[in-house]
Structure 1
C-alpha cells in the first residue's frame, strides 16, 4: 500500500487553544501533554497522581510543562465539577482510565467506576459550555466483541468485552454515544471516541505491560516472563497513537461531518508481530537476557487482536508511520538514553522533533 503524505498535528491550530487533558499523569497522557504544550496549547491536566515508580510525569516534570496540573479522582463527580467550575475549554481529550487488564480482574468494580462513571462524570460536567468545540474520548482496541477469528476489527463491529477492562471500555463507548446524542449534538458540539491499539514508547513503567516488564527485567539483570508469546497485538508507537488523536480532534472541531468513532493502530498492510517476536527484538536492543515462557492457565486475555485503521486513513489522511520493529527501536533508544542520564523531557521532545520530520 502506498504511503500517504503524512497528516500531522497542526501547531497553528493548537497554538493558544484551551485544552482539557485528562490522564496527563499517565504514560500516553504525559506524551500528549508535552506535545500539546510544545505546540502552544494552554493545557489543563486532570488526573489522579501517577501510580508508577518511576513515572514519566515526574521524570519529565510534566506538572510544570502544562499550564495547570490538578489531581482529581474522576470517580468523584462532585470533585470533577468543583475542579472545572468556571473554567472555559475549547477542546477536551479524555485519556484518564484504569488501563490494565489484569488489574481489572483483581478489582473489577474500581475499573468500571473509573472507566465508565469517570467518563460520565466528565461529560456531565462539560454539558452546556458554549465555548466547547469538540470532545474526544479515548477508549481501546479491546472494545470489540472478540471471537478470536483473527480478523481485524472495524468501527462498525459489535462492541463487547470478556474481561472487566474491555467491557468497561465498551461501556464507556455507549455512555459517550448517549451523552452525545442526548446533549452535545443538540448544542453543536461533536463528541467522538478513538479506539487505539497497543501502545509502546519510552517512559512507560506500568506493571503488566510488555515493554515496561522487559525494561525492568533488563535493568535488574532479570528475565522477562511471557504468558502468551504467540499472541498478536496491534502494536503502535505512542507518537503515532497521540498524533492520530490530535489530528482527529482537529477534524472534529472543524468538520461537523467527521465520523464519531475511529480506530488508530498499525498501518494497514503492516506486518503482524507476535508478543514473542516483539520481546525478542526489545531484549536484544537492551542487551537483556532472553525471555522465557510461563503459561498462565487462568488467563482470559485474547490470543489474537487486530484493528483496521483504514478509515482513519480515508477520512483524516492519517496513518501510523512507525511499523512495529521501528517502534521497538525508537522505544529502546529512549530507555537506553534515559538510563545513561538523559533528561526525560528532552528525550521526549527530541523524538517528537524526529517524528515531525518524517515524510
Structure 2
C-alpha cells in the first residue's frame, strides 16, 4: 500500500504502552507522519528507548502516566482527548516474566484490554481501535506449519495464553457490544521484532549487544529455535496500513473470530534460528566470541511461522526489510549510539526516513 501521508496529518491517536520499545518507535513514526499523539503508559524504564528520547518528545506529545488496569483513569483520558484512532500496545510482554508473575500477566494483558474496550464503548469514541497481540497466540505443536489467522488459538506459557484469550475477548466484544458502523476493532499479530534501542531484560538483541560491549560470552537459552525476526518498522508499517484500510473499508465476514485479525511477519524464507541471528549481528560488529548455552528451563517452541497472505492481499502490505537488512539496521543503530555517540532520536529518525523512502 502506498502510504497516504495526508491520512495521518493532524489525526488524533491515543497509544497505550507508548513508553515501551514498540510504542516509542510508533510514536516517533506517527509524529513524522504528522499525527497528534496522546500516550498512556506506566513510567518508562530508566534504561529504555523512551527515556533516551523523552526530552525530544516532551513538547510533541501529551503523555499520561497510568496503568491500563485503572479503568476510571483510562476512560477519563480517552474521553478528554477524543481520539480518532486508538492503538493498544500496553502489556506484560515477556514470556519469562509471565512465569514469575502469572497473575499480573493475565491481569494486565486480558483485563487491561477489557478495560480499554469498556472505555471506548462508554465514551464518544467513534473510529478505529487496533489491539496488538502476538504471533504466539497460536497453539504451536512444533509441526513447522505456517499459522493463518483462522488457526486454533492457545498458549503453553502464561504470556501466550493470556494473549490468545485476549484475541477471543476482543472478537466477543466486537460482536456483542460494538456498532460496526461507528467503531472498527481489529487485532494484529506480529512476529519477533528487533531494532535499535531495545534494552529489555531477557531479550536476545540487548543481550547480544551487552556481550559485545562487555566482551563477555553470550548465554543463549535455545540457540536452534527458529523465529520470524523482523525489524520493528515493518510491523508498525503494517499496523498503520491496517488502520487506513479499516477506516476506508468494511470487512463483510465479521462473524468469524479471525475476520479482524491480521498477521504481520517476514516471508517464511527469512525465518532464522537464534544462533543465525547472533552470528549475523557479529558479522556486522566483529569480535571474538563464544556461546555459553544454558540449560533450557522454560518451554519454548522450536519454530514459529506466520502466514502473511491475508495482509498481503487485503492491505497490499509486504515487509520492506529482509533478515540481513533488519539485522544490519539494528546493529548499526547500536554502533551509532555507542561508538559514534549519536543521539537516540537522531538515529531513529534516520532509520524511519530511510524506511519510508524504500
TM-score, normalised via structure 1 length: 0.93
Task: Give, in whole Å, the separation in 2 of the partners of 1:91 and 1:114.
Answer: 21
Say whether residues 1:167 and 2:161 are aligned partners: yes
Task: Give, in whole Å, the separation in 2 of the partners of 1:103 and 1:8.
Answer: 38
- Does the CA contact (< 8 Å) of 2:37 and 2:61 recur in 1? yes
Say whether residues 1:40 and 2:39 are aligned partners: no
Task: Give, in whole Å, the separation in 2 of the partners of 1:181 and 1:309.
Answer: 25
Question: Which residue in the other structure is 2:289 paired with?
Answer: 290
3-state SS, counterpart of residue 270 of structure 2: coil
Task: Give, in whole Å, the separation in 1 of the partners of 2:194 and 2:275.
Answer: 15
* Of 214, 236, 240, the match for 1:242: 236
Question: Which residue in the other structure is 2:345 paired with?
Answer: 345
Task: Give, in whole Å, the separation in 1 of the partners of 2:59 and 2:280.
Answer: 33
Q: CA deviation at 1:128?
A: 4.4
* Of 36, 44, 55, the match for 2:48: 55
- Does the CA contact (< 8 Å) of 2:222 and 2:296 recur in 1? no
Task: Give, in whole Å, the separation in 1 of the partners of 2:234 and 2:95.
Answer: 22
Question: Which residue in the other structure is 1:214 paired with?
Answer: 208
Deviates more, 1:62-71 or 1:319-328: 62-71
Q: CA deviation at 1:297?
A: 3.7
Q: CA deviation at 1:19?
A: 0.5
Task: Give, in whole Å, the separation in 2 of the partners of 1:84 and 1:168.
Answer: 24
Q: CA deviation at 1:84?
A: 2.8
Structure 2's unaligned 5+ residue stretches are 253-258
Deviates more, 1:200-209 or 1:218-227: 218-227
* Of 91, 95, 101, the match for 1:101: 95
- Does the CA contact (< 8 Å) of 2:225 and 2:303 recur in 1? yes
Question: Which residue in the other structure is 2:334 paired with?
Answer: 335
- Does the CA contact (< 8 Å) of 2:146 and 2:306 recur in 1? yes
Task: Give, in whole Å, the separation in 2 of the partners of 1:12 and 1:192.
Answer: 22
Matches within 5 A, 1:106-185: 106-185=100-179
- Does the CA contact (< 8 Å) of 2:219 and 2:294 recur in 1? no
- Does the CA contact (< 8 Å) of 2:193 and 2:231 recur in 1? yes
Question: Which residue in the other structure is 1:86 paired with?
Answer: 80
Q: CA deviation at 1:65?
A: 5.8
Say whether residues 1:319 and 2:318 are aligned partners: yes
- Summarize the Cα distance change of 1:131–1:84 in structure 2 as closer, same or farther, 3 Å threshold: closer
Q: CA deviation at 1:188?
A: 3.0
Matches within 5 A, 1:65-84: 66-84=60-78
- Does the CA contact (< 8 Å) of 1:22 and 1:94 recur in 2? yes
Question: Which residue in the other structure is 2:256 paired with?
Answer: none
- Summarize the Cα distance change of 1:207–1:130 in structure 2 as closer, same or farther, 3 Å threshold: same
- Summarize the Cα distance change of 1:116–1:289 in structure 2 as closer, same or farther, 3 Å threshold: farther
Q: CA deviation at 1:257?
A: 1.9
- Summarize the Cα distance change of 1:176–1:218 in structure 2 as closer, same or farther, 3 Å threshold: same
Say whether residues 1:262 and 2:262 are aligned partners: yes
RMSD: 1.6
- Summarize the Cα distance change of 1:188–1:39 in structure 2 as closer, same or farther, 3 Å threshold: same
- Summarize the Cα distance change of 1:204–1:151 in structure 2 as closer, same or farther, 3 Å threshold: same
- Does the CA contact (< 8 Å) of 1:218 and 1:289 recur in 2? no
Q: CA deviation at 1:356?
A: 1.2
Task: Give, in whole Å, the separation in 1 of the partners of 2:242 and 2:306.
Answer: 17
- Does the CA contact (< 8 Å) of 2:68 and 2:112 recur in 1? yes
Task: Give, in whole Å, the separation in 1 of the partners of 2:345 and 2:29.
Answer: 11
3-state SS, counterpart of residue 194 of structure 1: strand
3-state SS, counterpart of residue 86 of structure 1: helix
Deviates more, 1:186-195 or 1:76-85: 76-85
Structure 1's unaligned 5+ residue stretches are 1-6
Task: Give, in whole Å, the separation in 2 of the partners of 1:99 and 1:279.
Answer: 22
TM-score, normalised via structure 2 length: 0.94
